[in-house]
Structure 1
């Protein structure tokens, strides 16, 4: 019996993942005037580990001596590197630990298309805005769909590097957290078209 492809297993695991709980709170802006919620590393890991283990996938992240964080998965003898990024070190030991933790949770959210943080003015005493809540949920749903499409594309043979290269060329290195809806929809369209093309090629074979 042939071994299941790790890409197929990853796609199956992604279908069972939900965006992590935003269980952390931080402040930004002048004098900490703005508050936002974010998912801590433990919350992010909780959202992915059960689905991955359910498909027999071992997940790990490690930092090398050159401060490059590697995120990778194993299934039997198969291995796939999902993400590599340099961690900016400096300052106190606490600052360095925070930088590594941030890089880990950001890498996971980026790889699996999970919403890991959100702007929130809840601490300002303003009345909750149902329209803003609806728009926020809509964005989270779009990112979840993109994560599913990305996993499916990879399962069909499209490389992670190819997708990343298209994103970097199209958006000129723009932080994906700041994408507007038009940019998110363009990314979704790109992934959907790549999936369609790969499925057509497989049908012709």
Structure 2
């Protein structure tokens, strides 16, 4: 008689039970994530195409209108209100190749990443900046299903800068081929409000002064105030604090 058999069977059953629990939890988290996306699609408003590109070809001139990255971000952030969703982007450059992906997170800790968007450039800083801008805009737009362009203005990001800026474009704004979007955008008012609420919740959950909690998180990104954060950094902190709040809550429930 093999006396270890009952223990082995018990371990197998326990393992299967844990897999089932994990699967059910994943389904629950994914369902909340999808519900947030559905809410987003119901309230998001299409941004205006304020970007204008004009360039010469052998057959004459061509013009394209598209959504500026800053306007796309504003529209998406407005649409994400009360959905429990947030987002950030990974941005990489190496050997003349730029690539971007968009990560969407839910307050329950569930997240999804888009595939990498890659463009090969000449290696020139201006070309790399143009390609990065286009990649970030295209990745963000396709991830959330928000149209950001009327035509193939990606050609400008990987081949050449526009020959001129059209008169309709405001003088204080750069078009997508002139911006170097490796410079991050600042934190939004909505992000700042969300973070302050999360810091307060963590303060109560950890029984710690809110100043200590806030400063501890902000130091991770080498800033002293929420308003000093950049957009991507703010989204990363939102995801981090949300996940740790979830763990804190689970820990508290297990001690009940």
Could you state the TM-score of these two structures normalised by the residue count of structure 1? 0.51
Gaps of 5+ in 2: 1-27, 152-165, 167-256
Determine whether 1:30 maps to 2:61: no
- Distance in 2, matches of 1:118 and 1:63, equals 24
Residue of structure 1 in register with 2:42 after alignment: 15
Q: Specify which structure has the bigger relative contact order, considering alpha-carbon pairs within 8 angstroms and separated by 6 or more residues.
A: 1
In structure 1, distance between residues paired with 2:114 and 2:82:
19
Partner of 2:203 in structure 1?
A: none
Q: CA contact under 8 A between 1:83 and 1:111: conserved in structure 2?
A: no
Distance in 1 of aligned mates of 2:118 and 2:93: 11
Instruction: State yes or no: 1:97 paired with 2:124.
Output: no
State the distance in 1 between where 2:90 and 2:121 align.
Answer: 15
CA distance in 2, matches of 1:30, 1:87: 22
Aligned residues: 119
**Structure of larger gyration radius:** 2
Q: Which runs of 4+ in 1 moved over 3 A?
A: 64-68
Q: Give the aligned CA root-mean-square deviation in angstroms.
A: 2.4
What residue in structure 2 maps to residue 195 of structure 1? none
Whether 2:147 is the aligned partner of 1:115: answer yes
Q: Which runs of 5+ in 1 are unaligned?
A: 124-205
The answer to whether 1:72 aligns with 2:103 is yes
Deviations 1:108-146 (A, max 9, x none): 222233222226xxx8xxxxxxxxxxxxxxxxxxxxxxx
Higher helix share: 1
TM-score norm. by structure 2 comes to 0.41
Shift of 1:91: 3.1
Structure 2 equivalent of residue 45 of structure 1? 73
Give the corresponding residue for 2:113.
81
User: Which residue is 2:138 aligned to?
Assistant: 106
The CA distance in 1 between the partners of 2:52 and 2:134, in whole Å, is 14
- Deviation (angstroms), 1:24: 0.8
After superposition, the Cα gap between the structure-2 partners of 1:68 and 1:92, relative to the gap in structure 1 and judged at 3 Å, is closer
Question: Is this contact kept in 2: 1:72–1:83, CA < 8 A?
Answer: no
- CA contact under 8 A between 1:69 and 1:87: conserved in structure 2? no
Q: Distance in 1 between matches of 2:110 and 2:46?
A: 26
